[in-house]
Amino acid sequence: MAKQYNLTPKQYQALWEACGGKCMTCRRLRARCVDHDHKCCPGKTSCGKCVRGLLCGPCNKGVLGHLRDDPAAMRRCADYVENPPARLILAIDRLEGDP
């Protein structure tokens, strides 16, 4: 796998040790995927200079892949989790006394 991303075994080991073998984003699952910037190297291989770190499959494909590496979308997700719109909407509804 490290060859596919132009990483030496030593570089891959350094990434692995940096994350303790856990996904660098969720920190819950085992880091099995080398993540790279697809703007630099589209596809499944990388020049090695655009490698970002090690992620679990769900974070690599389900989060970053789904959001297409869009930082604004990621910030909206964090804001949504920290400030769910339903709290305000339902609080207003309760104040208005609608059953």
pLDDT at 99 over 90: no
Mean pLDDT along residues 33-43: 91
The pLDDT of residue 1 is 67
The model's confidence at residue 28, banded by pLDDT at 50, 70 and 90, is very high
Domain boundaries, given as residue ranges, for the chain: 1-65, 67-99
The model's confidence at residue 50, banded by pLDDT at 50, 70 and 90, is very high
Q: Please report which residue ranges of 1-99 form alpha helices under DSSP H.
A: 9-19, 57, 71-82, 85-95
The pLDDT of residue 94 is 85
Fold classification of 1-65 is His-Me finger endonuclease fold (3.40.1800)
The pTM is what? 0.82
